[in-house]
């Protein structure tokens, strides 16, 4: 399974993306909502005549929101301005809470000491339908130094007017400006207007704010990182689990193969030590068995060298296959006449070698005699009218003597047995 290579690039890429979002968010163009002019804007001008004031308002150019306030000198100057309605029923307004500032493009020709920008927010918690006066009055006063063709006022600069707040006994949460349901936006030439005409044209009224609030952005980034981290951990866990399973599977397969090879090697090793026809040890197997034998601990150790008599004749008369059978039967007879601790080997064609640990030369002679007898009388040969006999050379291996040396003596004994007419055993002593 491939490791998660792409993970190397993913982390720097995500860090870069996060950094870009955090930094880029500050420089992203703001979302805008144009309040004026719009195709269906509803606006009207007003003055303080009914309140006993001395200001008179009139349109100079309705299409361009251009109005004039003329101050009469005999009465007080209260207010005079232009309102923009954002609600048909003065109850359902526009939610501006996602915005951050108000931008107003103005053309002014006035010496008014103040220009009030204001909004009204309807909330049934403190407002009554049909009474626009009950909607929150949120305002900000521009002073002459602030007058400019384009003025921006942040929402956090707006305040609730004291005259609206006083006497209402509102709970604390309603004593701060709300922008969630604005039903009216207005501009008013305020303060003590100098006598004479004052003109203002509202070219454009726009609210602006980020497409995504900083709070939502950071929350989104944190959520994305947390989700990513959990997903990454899960992927890692799955990856490691699969790798571990694959490794376990591989280990198990290798172990099975190792066991099969081991058993095969044991079989081959065993085969390499055995004679293919009789199943007795071959020369190589015998040497290994002798190497493993502690001669001094097992002393005395005797050696029998046994040869089938006139075997060539058997082969010639009964065929090679029958000759093989004779060799197999002789091996079986030898095996059944010996102990498990004795070491049996096929030494050559029709020659067998028997090592008898813990057995002296005299006892070995008796054993050789017993083996010779059992072969001579074997029913398996008599049944086939086969006269199978063996001659045996017997010797006791001397302390520290090599096998080759003892074998040479046993061979002499065997030669002597053949000379004595075969089908007999000769002990080394008998020829010395």
Ligand X SMILES: Nc1nc2c(ncn2[C@@H]2O[C@H](COP(=O)(O)OP(=O)(O)OP(=O)(O)O)[C@@H](O)[C@H]2O)c(=O)[nH]1
Span interacting with ligand X, options 37-45, 115-123, 168-176, 315-323, rule CB under 6 A: 315-323
When the beta carbons of 317 and 339 are compared against ligand X, the nearer one is 317
Buried b (16+ CB within 10 A) or exposed e, 374-395: ebeebebbeeeebebbbbbbbb
The one segment of 74-82, 193-201, 218-226, 312-320 that binds ligand X by CB under 6 A? 312-320
Q: Evaluate whether 189 touches 80 at the Cβ level (below 8 Å).
A: yes
CB of 183 within 8 A of CB of 153?
Answer: no
**Does an H or E element contain 256, and which?**
helix 214-273
Residue among 107, 87, 83 at smallest CA distance from 95:
87
Closest distance of CB 284 from ligand X, Å:
17
Q: Does 317 bind ligand X (CB under 6 A)?
A: no
Does residue 257 belong to the site contacting ligand X (CB under 6 A)?
no
Residue 275 is a binding residue for ligand X (CB under 6 A): no
Q: Does 418 bind ligand X (CB under 6 A)?
A: yes
| Cβ atoms of 58 and 67 closer than 8 Å | yes
Does 320 bind ligand X (CB under 6 A)? Our answer is: yes
If DSSP states are collapsed to H, E and C, what string results for 226-252? HHHHHHHHHHHHHHHHHHHHHHHHHHH
- Is the Cβ of residue 4 or residue 277 nearer to ligand X in the bound state? 277
Closest among 337, 345, 338 to 278, alpha carbons compared: 345
Selected from 259, 312, 317, 339, the binder of ligand X by CB under 6 A is 312
Question: Closest approach of Cβ 311 to ligand X, in Å?
Answer: 3
Nearer to ligand X, 237 or 277 (CB): 277
d(Cα 422, Cα 117) in Å, to the nearest integer?
A: 142
Please list every residue from 36 through 95 that binds ligand X, using CB under 6 A.
none
Question: Which one of the spans 71-79, 117-125, 210-218, 323-331 is the region binding ligand X (CB under 6 A)?
Answer: 323-331
Binding mask 349-378 for ligand X (x = CB under 6 A): xx----------------------------
How is residue 351 written in tokens?
Answer: 């020659």
**Considering beta carbons, is residue 183 or 375 the nearer one to ligand X?**
375
Q: Nearest distance from residue 303's CB to ligand X, in Å? A: 18
Q: Output the DSSP codes for 47-82.
A: ESTTTT--EEEEEEEGGGTEEEEEE-SSS----EEE
- Phi–psi pair at 350, nearest 5 degrees: -120, 30
Interatomic CA distance for residues 383 and 2, integer angstroms: 74
The reply to whether 178 sits near ligand X by the rule CB under 6 A is no
Residue 389 binds to ligand X (criterion: CB under 6 A): no
**What is residue 276's three-state secondary structure?**
coil
Give me the 291-310 binding string for ligand X, x by CB under 6 A, dash otherwise: ----------------xxxx
Give min distance, CB of 338 to ligand X, in A: 21
Residues near ligand X (CB under 6 A): 277, 307-313, 315, 320, 323-324, 327, 349-350, 418
């Amino acid at each position: 399974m491939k490791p998660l290579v792409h993970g190397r690039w993913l982390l720097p890429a995500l860090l870069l993306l996060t950094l870009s979002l955090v930094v880029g968010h500050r420089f992203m163009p703001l979302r805008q909502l144009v309040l004026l002019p719009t195709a269906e804007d509803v606006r009207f001008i007003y003055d303080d005549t009914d309140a006993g004031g001395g200001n008179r308002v009139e349109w100079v150019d309705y299409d361009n929101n251009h109005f004039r306030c003329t101050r009469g000198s005999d009465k007080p100057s209260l207010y005079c301005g232009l309102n923009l309605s954002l609600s048909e029923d003065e109850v359902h307004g526009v939610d501006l809470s996602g915005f951050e500032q108000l931008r107003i493009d103005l053309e002014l020709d006035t010496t008014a000491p103040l220009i009030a920008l204001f909004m009204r927010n309807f909330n049934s918690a403190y407002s009554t339908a049909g009474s626009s006066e009950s909607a929150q009055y949120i305002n900000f006063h521009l002073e002459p130094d602030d007058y400019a063709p384009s003025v921006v006022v942040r929402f956090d600069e707006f305040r609730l007017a004291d005259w609206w707040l006083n006497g209402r006994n509102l709970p604390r949460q309603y004593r701060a400006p709300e922008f969630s349901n604005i039903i009216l936006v207005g501009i008013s030439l305020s303060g003590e207007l100098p006598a004479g005409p004052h003109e203002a044209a509202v070219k454009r009224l726009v609210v602006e704010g980020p497409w995504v609030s900083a709070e939502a952005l950071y929350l989104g980034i944190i959520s994305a990182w947390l989700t990513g981290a959990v997903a990454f951990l899960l992927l890692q866990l799955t990856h490691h689990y699969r790798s571990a399973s694959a490794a376990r599977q591989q280990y198990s397969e290798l172990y099975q193969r190792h066991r099969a090879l081991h058993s095969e090697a044991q079989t081959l090793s065993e085969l390499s030590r055995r004679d293919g026809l009789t199943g007795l040890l071959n020369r190589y197997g015998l040497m290994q068995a002798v190497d493993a034998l502690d001669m001094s601990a097992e002393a005395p150790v005797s050696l029998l060298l046994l040869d089938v008599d006139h075997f060539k004749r058997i082969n010639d008369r009964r065929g090679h296959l029958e000759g093989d059978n004779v060799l197999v039967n002789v091996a079986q007879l030898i095996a059944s006449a010996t102990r498990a601790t004795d070491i049996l080997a096929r030494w050559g064609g029709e020659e067998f070698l028997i090592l008898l640990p813990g057995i002296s030369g005299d006892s070995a002679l008796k054993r050789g005699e017993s083996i010779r007898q059992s072969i001579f009388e074997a029913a398996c040969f008599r049944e086939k009218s086969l006269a199978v006999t063996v001659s045996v050379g017997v010797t006791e291996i001397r302390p520290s003597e090599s096998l080759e040396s003892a074998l040479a003596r046993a061979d002499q004994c065997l030669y002597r047995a053949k000379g004595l007419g075969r089908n007999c055993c000769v002990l080394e002593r008998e020829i010395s």
